[in-house]
Structure 1
Amino acid sequence: MLSSNQPSSIATFLSGRLLLQEEIPFPLSDSSDIQYLPGILTKHHRFFCQRCGNDQKERFAVFPCARCGQMCSYCRHCLMMGRVAGCSKLVRWTGAEPPHEGEGTLHWSGRLSEGQSAASHAVVEAIQRDGEQLIWAVCGAGKTEVLFRGIEAALLARKRVCIATPRTDVVLELAPRLQKVFPGVNVTALYGGSLDRHEYSPLVVSTTHQLFRFIEAFDVMIVDEVDAFPYSYDASLQYAVAKSRKSQSSLIYLTATPNETWQRECRSGKRPFMKIPARFHRQPLPVPAFSWCGNWKKAIEKGRIPANVKEWTVERLQAGKQALLFFPHIESMEKALPLFQKFHPAIEAVHAEDPHRKEKVALMREKKLPLLLSTTILERGVTFPNIDVAVIGAEDDVFTESALVQIAGRAGRSADFPDGEVRFFHYGKTKAMAKAAAHIRQMNKEGREKGWLDR
């Protein structure tokens, strides 16, 4: 435990952070470098949570508070990270940052494709000028490698870098990859339950939720999968990203599927962007095939799998080809799981609240699962080298154009296996399905026009 007569240790612990006073495991001194902020303010006759930015009346409540002895307001929106009440104090460090430890040289011998190289230069330039840049790259284009030179430039300039992503799975996959290519610095991974939560590091990979605990911490903020749920729908997560950046800093966005507003801004020149319409291995994106499967929900309720879904599954099992099968909802997936396990007992299912989620994804990577049923939790951020992909119930509202493009992007990512099959099983075609297929065809067309595809 740290003591109050260790200012450098206090700076290391608190620098860039915004923590509840009760989260700090040592007594605080009366240093002028420690600032106390009220947890909840009143702005324009409305409550405002200084940690998460919540100002929605229905997301506040009151409770009998033992600390202040009154009925005290508190923020329900970020309650899972510890209660911010009306009498709470948030603590931040306003003194000098601790010195960067380690050396930020990139150790990577790979080569970038033409598209990756152009995007990499754009990232470096944005970081050097503290600017903003969108990298619009197809699934499997190699967005992580595009960041390497920019991260190196930042670390060598003693800048602090954060890569923020909506999902824990992406943090768990990305952090060890970055640690491997930047062995001279300590890469910290922040997510719910993370052991790295109180470490100071010049290179941080974090879920967007964990950024509630930061303030003016980062010189470079990279937001991965900026279109993904929940970040794209939750203003408080966007507030957390903005709050975590220094006033002079760079902002890099990564996505395969920018929303329509951003696409218009790109076309009109209002948003700086770099587009990579082809994968690094120069093979086209698999275009999804549509297959009508009837009332699949009713079939599963009656204990059977639609005939063409069954045929697709058995073909993969017989060929020894791993596959992902996406469901719109947990309930229907869990009812279907025992039906699929009749084909092979090692078939598993995974969803966001699954306590064994990490282990199941690891088993899939180790090729110990022939087929993994999943909700949209695995639509992005995880890579299996040689898989086919299908969606059952592709007509469901949960499968937006963006989600379907991302799901299709799970197939054919490896240079050794670029031809994965994608199938959308449906009970009626939707605009989202048609737009997803058109999006993929358009990217392949642009890739060919640039000479970045071999076929």
Structure 2
Amino acid sequence: MEDKDVIYGRLWLKGHLPDDIEHTADAIESTYQKNRRLYCQRCSALMETKNQLPSGAYYCRSCIVFGRNQSDRPLYAVKPKEFPKGDYLNWQGQLTTYQSEVSRALLTNMKQQKNSLVHAVTGAGKTEMIYAAIAEVVNTGGWVCLASPRIDVCIELKKRLSRDFSCPVCLMHADSEAYHRAPIIVATTHQLMKFYRAFDLLIIDEVDAFPFVGNRSLQYASEQALKLDAVKILLTATSTSELEQQVANKELEKLTLARRFHGKPLIVPEFKLLLSMTKHLNQKKIPKSFVKLIAQQRKTTYPLLIFFPIIELGEQFAELLKTYFPKEAIGYVSSQSENRLETVERFRHGDIGILVSTTILERGVTFPRVDVFVVLANHKVFNAASLIQIAGRVGRSLERPEGQLLFIHEGITKAMKKSVKEIKLMNQKGYSNELSTVPN
């Protein structure tokens, strides 16, 4: 191990630390028992009896990607150490009055050791609202982790934090560069399994997103990564019943912001019925009416983001679209795309005019001036939260706070209706005294 600084605040398997450090590290039971069943201490998954080694020990398959945790060997943790104190916030921007209210409330909650839920509409400027909280911790030598379930969101956050803070920022995901110790960690929620009683502040962005939502192991890991006296901040534009229950139970202090930073309303989707979409795609054709919609949009020269519910359909559509619009630069991304990050950047910089995507880009990414079409919006993949997030890609920028947003469907679903109802409700709150709900 060349850089011994990487050991602090992390959870290690036996034999993965140098001997001299392992002897002084805290040994932690690798399992715990509940109702006479054995569970993994790292991820809380059940250690099934079928996962038994010749020695008789059991091991956890759920988190084996991080190395094999087995019942006859302890885990090791090395206590975190302080970072150099400083004044690290470079950001010179100005928060709106309502953003400032939320920012101040977060600082108050931190001082009172209260966990917070920030429920703010897409484009409200959630990232900027947490800057003061991050600075409060890192300026005094503390450790902050900003986690998200989505790699694309993490990459975007890393760029912004590296620009707006002068201290080192480390990005952690499955394909990232080697870990280095830094006052600010940006990580996918899976990476939290590598830490133990480490962070003074944990912020989880897009807390309602897959795979974090409803995932007991990831939620367990997020709690275990915190110091015992630490605070967490959860960020969402689409709250869940589980989160609201935690608010009701006083486990979270809810802060609400119902207006975008530029003061303009959320874009309300327009429904377009197109019954023959699936039939045409199966015949390797695009309906004439849809081709016409795209052609009209392209005259505006604004970038166009087209969402599909299924990887195969989206990929097929993107290839078809190139034959209909041969002069257009057309890209496609999904969770399986090897060059996804490069393609997204090309779209952001205007090198690609039309980008076809799965729900991988439904949240956490900003494309200035973009229009959005959701194809087969009636598909079961598009639940209300997903549709609200997708709708939130439109009208985010100050240079174009409006835009075209179409839900192209083969029959209106409850999810479609619910998404529109929620968007209209947030717009109503955004222009009433319910705009910002911050406890006095």
Q: Distance in 2 between matches of 1:270 and 1:85?
A: 33
Structure 2, gaps ≥5 residues long: none
**Of 65, 74, 84, the match for 2:59:** 74
How far apart are the structure 2 equivalents of 1:399 and 1:348?
A: 21
Q: Distance in 1 between matches of 2:157 and 2:90?
A: 16
Quote the residue 1:113 is aligned against. 96
How far is 1:91 from its partner? 2.1
CA–CA separation in structure 1 for the residues paired with 2:301 and 2:6: 50
**Mapped partners of 2:403, 2:247: distance in 1:** 31
The CA distance in 2 between the partners of 1:157 and 1:240, in whole Å, is 25
Q: Deviations over 1:193-238 (max 9, x none)?
A: 22242x2222111110000101100111111111111111211110
Give the corresponding residue for 1:402.
385
- Note if contact 1:351-1:374 (Cα within 8 Å) is conserved in structure 2: yes
Corresponding residue number in structure 2 for 1:5: none
User: Which residue number in structure 1 is paired with residue 423 of structure 2?
Assistant: 440
Q: Deviations over 1:157-187 (max 9, x none)?
A: 322111111111111111121122211x111
> Residues 317-332 of structure 1 correspond to what in structure 2 (within 5 A)?
317-332=298-313
Q: Which residue of 2 aligns with 1:90?
A: 75
Q: Match for 1:81: what amino acid?
A: F
Distance 1:248 1:264 in 2: 23
Which residue of the other structure, out of 304, 307, 332, is the alignment partner of 1:349?
Answer: 332
Equivalence for 1:233: 214
Q: Contact 2:51–2:61 (CA<8 Å) still a contact in 1?
A: no
Q: 1:102-150: per-residue Cα shift (whole Å, max 9, x none)? A: 6243222211112211110111112222211111100000000001111
Which residue of structure 2 aligns with residue 303 of structure 1?
284
- Name the stretch that deviates more: 258-267 or 439-448: 258-267
**Aligned ranges 1:94-105 → 2 under 5 Å:** 94=79, 97-101=80-84, 103-105=86-88
> 2 CA distance for matches of 1:289 and 1:280?
23
Matched ranges for 1:221-300 at <5 A: 221-263=202-244, 271-300=252-281
Corresponding residue for residue 6 of structure 1: none
Letter in 2 for 1:275: T
Is the counterpart of residue 189 in structure 1 residue 171 in structure 2?
yes
SS at match of 2:133: helix
Distance 1:394 1:61, change over 3 A: farther
1:148 is aligned to 131
> Equivalent residue for 1:36?
27
Q: Once the two structures are superposed, what CA deviation does each residue of 1:1-59 show, in whole Å capped at 9, x if it has no partner?
A: 44xxxxxx64x3222101223544xx3216653133354445433231111111274xx
Deviations 1:410-454 (A, max 9, x none): 01100001111111111111111111011111111111114979x
Q: Which moved more, 1:152-161 or 1:395-404?
A: 152-161
Q: For the residues of structure 2 that align with 1:308 and 1:422, how far apart are their CA atoms?
A: 16
Residue 62 and residue 261 in structure 1: after superposition, are their counterparts in 2 closer, same or farther (change >3 A)? Answer: closer
TM-score (norm 2): 0.92
Preserved CA contact (<8 Å) 2:40 2:47 = no
Which letter maps to 1:190? M
Give deviations 1:385-412, integer Å, cap 9, x for gaps: 1100111111111111110000000011
Q: Number of aligned pairs?
A: 434
> 2: CA distance between counterparts of 1:268 and 1:13?
37
1:382 equivalent among 344, 358, 365: 365
In the alignment, residue 55 of structure 1 is paired with which amino acid? L
Verify: 1:15 aligned to 2:8, yes or no: yes
Contact residue 281 and residue 317 of structure 2 kept, 8 A:
yes
Identity over aligned pairs, percent: 35
1:111 maps to a residue whose letter is Q
> Residue 36 of structure 2: which of 38, 42, 45 is its match?
45
Question: What is the DSSP-based 3-state SS (H/G/I as helix, E as strand, rest coil) of the residue aligned with 1:358?
Answer: helix
**Aligned partner of 1:62: which letter?**
N
How far off its partner does 1:270 sit? 7.1
Can you list the C-alpha shifts for 1:72-92, whole angstroms capped at 9, x where unaligned?
A: 533222223233234454221
Q: 1:23 to 1:433 in 2, by over 3 A?
A: farther
- Confirm or deny: 8 A CA contact 2:82 2:142 kept in the other structure: no
Out of 333, 339, 343, the residue aligned to residue 360 of structure 1 is: 343
Higher deviation after alignment, 27-36 or 224-233: 27-36
> Secondary structure of the equivalent of 2:58?
strand
Instruction: Rate the CA distance shift 1:271–1:90 in 2: closer, same or farther, 3 A.
Output: closer
Mapped to 2, the partners of 1:289 and 1:23 lie a distance apart of 56
CA separation of 1:32 and 1:71: change in aligned 2, threshold 3 A:
closer
Q: Distance in 1 between matches of 2:290 and 2:217?
A: 40
Structure 1 residue runs without a partner (length 5+): 3-8
- Relative to the length of structure 1, the TM-score reads 0.89
Given candidates 282, 289, 294, the residue that maps to 1:313 is 294
Counterpart residue type for residue 249 of structure 1: A
Residue 14 of structure 1 contacts residue 93 of structure 1 at CA under 8 Å; is this kept in 2? yes
Q: 1:76 to 1:110 in 2, by over 3 A?
A: same
Q: In angstroms, what is the RMSD of aligned CA positions? A: 2.3
Q: Which amino acid aligns with 1:421?
A: Q
Q: 1:56 to 1:347 in 2, by over 3 A?
A: farther
